[in-house]
Structure 1
Amino acid sequence: MQLRTFLNDLSAWSESRSDVLGLALVGSHARGAARPCSDVDVIVLCEDPLKLADSDGWIARFGDPLKKMTETYGVVRVVRVFYGGGLEVEFGLSPVDWADVPLDAGTRRVISEGMRILYDPKGLLRSAEIAAAA
């Protein structure tokens, strides 16, 4: 699966869910520095990151998941998925307050290192982006 197709599918999925309040591409792909072997990093602002992390059905919407690993970084529950075809995605499932201003140091770092907003109906990610740039 190509990155553009994946991001379009992920954006459509985010828009279809009432519990997802924001989506952003972060990391090397967001800053235009990705290499062929780079994984895809996304932040998913959601009402219940733990519930979403424990559910496997949604990850299969984006390809054939060969392996899934879960990690925690602060308030972010990361679901790393290795898809058939070589796509590796790090879904950063984050509570809505991850984007609260004033930003904590971890959020500021992630945003400052590159963020491309894909879905932000309430402007939460945009507000965080402005705060990180200040």
Structure 2
Amino acid sequence: MSSIDASDNYLIKVILEQVKNWAEKRSEILALALVGSYARGEATLESDIDLMVIASDTDVFRQNYDWMHQINWESINYKIQKWNDADYGVVWSRHIYLCNSKSNSKSSSKNNLFNDLTNKLKVEISFGLPIWASIQPIDSGTFGVVSRGCKIIYDPQDILTNLVSKIDCQK
């Protein structure tokens, strides 16, 4: 099965751009990264889009659902169908299931790899406090996530930049 490179895929680029625009407007968000199979360049049509958010307050996102609708999913003709949460120790995730709001429309020619994926996408946005990205010492779970692929999207305080540099030195 062929892999999908996030940097070459129009749909993924637009999603990352919209999530970055949202993150930049939220004072609680300190950093944002693409992790998982898309960051490694190993994504398939079945892969979800995994994002890691470092926030000064993660509970504000867990207790409030409005923030999901502040991300401009409409720019890619998708809307939120449902969501659920999962806990992973010091990190929790919101799994957002998107459905195509124009399911009869054809995919863009820029988006050939997604021609078969016309109706649904899954985006997992994980939230962690700055301690998740601490480099003294680096948590084994954090090391595992970052060492298996991390593309920084938004990092004005170099929180993730410092973490990735430290992990790269330890590989």
- TM-score (norm. length: structure 2): 0.75
Report the structure number with the largest CA radius of gyration.
2
Deviation at 1:78, TM superposition (A): 0.5
Query: Match for residue 130 of structure 1?
Result: 165
Q: Determine which of 89, 108, 132 is the counterpart of 2:123.
A: 89
How do 1:91-130 residues align onto structure 2 when only pairs under 5 Å count? Answer: 91-101=125-135, 102-130=137-165
How do 1:34-45 residues align onto structure 2 when only pairs under 5 Å count? Answer: 34-45=43-54
Query: Match for residue 53 of structure 1?
Result: 62
Task: List gaps (5 residues or longer) in structure 1.
Answer: none
Number of residue pairs matched by the alignment: 134
- TM-score (norm. length: structure 1): 0.95
Deviation at 1:93, TM superposition (A): 0.8
Relative to total residues, which structure has the larger strand share, 1 or 2? 1
Deviation at 1:62, TM superposition (A): 3.8
Query: Match for residue 67 of structure 1?
Result: 82
CA RMSD of aligned residues (A): 1.2
Deviation at 1:15, TM superposition (A): 1.1
Task: List gaps (5 residues or longer) in structure 2.
Answer: 1-9, 74-78, 101-119
Partners of 1:98 and 1:44 lie apart in 2 by 10
Structure 1 consecutive aligned stretches of length 4 or more whose deviation exceeds 6 Å: none
Preserved CA contact (<8 Å) 1:81 1:90: yes
